[in-house]
Amino acid sequence: MLNNVLQRLGLMHKQVNIALWGSDVSEMATLVHGLQTGEYVKQEPSIHPFSQEITINNVNFTATVPSGNTGARLAWRSSLPEFDGIVYVVDTKDSSWLTVAKEELNGLLNDETLSKPILILVAKSDPSEEAELDAITKQGPTVALYTYDKYEETKEGFQWLLQHV
138 is in an annotated binding site: no
30 is in an annotated binding site: yes
- Mean pLDDT, to the nearest integer, of 94-120? 82
Q: Mean pLDDT for the chain? A: 81
Instruction: Output the pLDDT for position 9.
Output: 65
Instruction: Output the pLDDT for position 157.
Output: 87
Least Cα distance to 31 among 75, 76, 65, 66 occurs for: 65
Tell me the pLDDT band of 19, cut-offs 50, 70 and 90: very high
Tell me the pLDDT band of 122, cut-offs 50, 70 and 90: confident
Would you list the domain boundaries of the chain?
2-164
Instruction: Output the pLDDT for position 80.
Output: 93
83 in Cβ contact with 72 (< 8 Å): no
91 is in an annotated binding site: no
155 is in an annotated binding site: no
Distance CA 31, CA 148 (A): 11
Evaluate if residue 104 carries a pLDDT over 80: yes
Distance CA 50, CA 68 (A): 10
CATH superfamily placement of domain 2-164: P-loop containing nucleotide triphosphate hydrolases (3.40.50.300)
Burial of 161 (0-12, 13-18, 19+ CB in 10 A): buried
Tell me the pLDDT band of 11, cut-offs 50, 70 and 90: low
- Mean pLDDT, to the nearest integer, of 46-68? 89
